[in-house]
Amino acid sequence: MLMLLFSYVLPLSLVAAIPFSHHTPSGCSNAPSSDPLQTLVHFADGTWAENLYIRADGSIIVSLYEGGPGQNVLVTPQAEGPATVQVLHRFPNEKIGALGIVELEPDVFYFATVERGRLATDSPPGTGQVWSFNLNDFSGTELPVRLVSNLTDSILPNGMTTTQGQSPKKLLVADSQRGVIWRVDPDTGAFDIASNDTLLHNLTSTLVGLGVNGVHTKDDFLYFTNTQENLFGRMPISDSGLQVGPAELLNNLTFTGVDDFTVLPGPGNAAVMASDPDNGTFFESQSCTKRLATTNGTTANKIAWSQMKPNGVVPVYLTSEGGFMDEQPGPITVGGTLSVFEMDLSPLISSWSHKPSSWKGWPGHVGDWQEWSGREPFVM
């Protein structure tokens, strides 16, 4: 999620014009390659697109942390022309920002919010909340939301995921300022600390001061990023989401300000990661760091596994916060975006000794993926 309040960003015209390089860094022979980035939605100036979730039908829910028409919007790519954007919900308090979002059951979503302070990451303690909505209730106008939990002990709830083994599942919410993982019961709203591991903490206090940021589960592990310490790690968790063993440092990252990420299936601990200050999306493994895409203040990414092609090419959607550009006579703000690029996973897949049976996208479903090259983005 959240990163720098005053990040320098590239003009959108320059981002679109950046030539894609197929140069493979040393140690990255099995790394995926990518095609140029295409912008689907360019939100209004001052809008911060924070996170996203890809629905089964290919539409995308985007959470907005600041600015924009509401806290959550539904983006539907079209076979021809710009994507459509529908507002799902808008809180009366414009200081409320939406962050992580997860799907607990088909079309039932949970998302975290917090009240923004004077600075983007300076939230008043105790204002964090978890909400839910059911898209089956959406009629095209504002969607009702249900308050699940007041996280009264939180400071900055951020990335979200769910437990995998237990039914009913629990929500796991990263608190970037407290450096803990909250476990939330989606039915009762009860919450407690699932982990307070040192690897989640911000040990180098700064103005931004973000510790744990993105969180995702895979097998029996919770994977996480730490923004200030610039690391990628994991910890074993129980079916109910509690930490049950020591956390493991997987990588000290070479790019700065890691944000949210997508952990890849298969053996190993490879992931696709967002970096806000480095304006990029990166492939990260134990032997390789490779830039896949460049855009303004990248905050999160999701892979559309259901749209994977038989040749191993899959679309990757990403959000950005926009930010400030240096212009004369003074800096100007630019809005966040929802963008997409194609990633070729075939080099990575070919190195696997087995294919994960739990990966629903294998061996590849030809979905409704459309080529976006040359299309004009939807502008809000």
Tens digits of residue pLDDT in 88-100: 999 999 899 999 9
Average pLDDT in the 267-284 region?
91
Q: How confident is the model at residue 2 (pLDDT cuts 50, 70, 90)?
A: low
In the DSSP assignment, the letter for residue 305 is G
Q: Identify the three-state secondary structure at position 214.
A: strand
Q: Within 13 Å and on the Cβ side, how many CA atoms surround 76? A: 10
269: Cβ contacts below 8 Å, ≥ 6 apart: 223, 232, 234, 250, 251, 263, 285, 286
Place of tokens 């976006």: 372
Q: Identify the three-state secondary structure at position 323.
A: strand
11 pLDDT exceeds 50?
no
Q: What is the pLDDT of residue 34?
A: 94
Q: How many residues does this entry show for the chain?
A: 380
Q: How much helix, strand and coil, in percent to the nearest 5, is found in the chain? A: 5, 45, 50
Cα separation of 30 and 70, whole Å? 41
CATH placement of domain 27-379: 2.120.10.30
Give all strands of the β-sheet with 171-175 in edge-to-edge order: 157-162, 171-175, 180-184, 191-195
119 pLDDT exceeds 70?
no
Residue 346 CB burial class (10 angstroms; 0-12, 13-18, ≥19): middle
For residue range 218-255, what is the model confidence (pLDDT) as tens digits?
Answer: 989 999 999 999 999 999 999 999 999 999 999 999 99
Place of tokens 């300076």: 122
Residue 6 CB burial class (10 angstroms; 0-12, 13-18, ≥19): exposed
Structure-block tokens of residue 132: 């839910």
132: Cβ contacts below 8 Å, ≥ 6 apart: 104, 108, 109, 110, 111, 145, 146, 148, 186
Whether the CB-CB separation of 72 and 89 falls below 8 Å is answered with yes
Place of tokens 């295409």: 38
354 pLDDT exceeds 60?
no
Q: What is the pLDDT of residue 187?
A: 96
Q: Which amino acid is at 14?
A: L
134 pLDDT exceeds 50?
yes
18 pLDDT exceeds 70?
no
Cα separation of 58 and 103, whole Å? 14
Residue 22 CB burial class (10 angstroms; 0-12, 13-18, ≥19): exposed
Report DSSP letters for 334-363, one per residue. E--EEEEEEEE-HHHHHT-SS--TT-TT-S
Give all strands of the β-sheet with 258-263 in edge-to-edge order: 258-263, 271-275, 280-284, 289-294
Whether the CB-CB separation of 232 and 284 falls below 8 Å is answered with yes
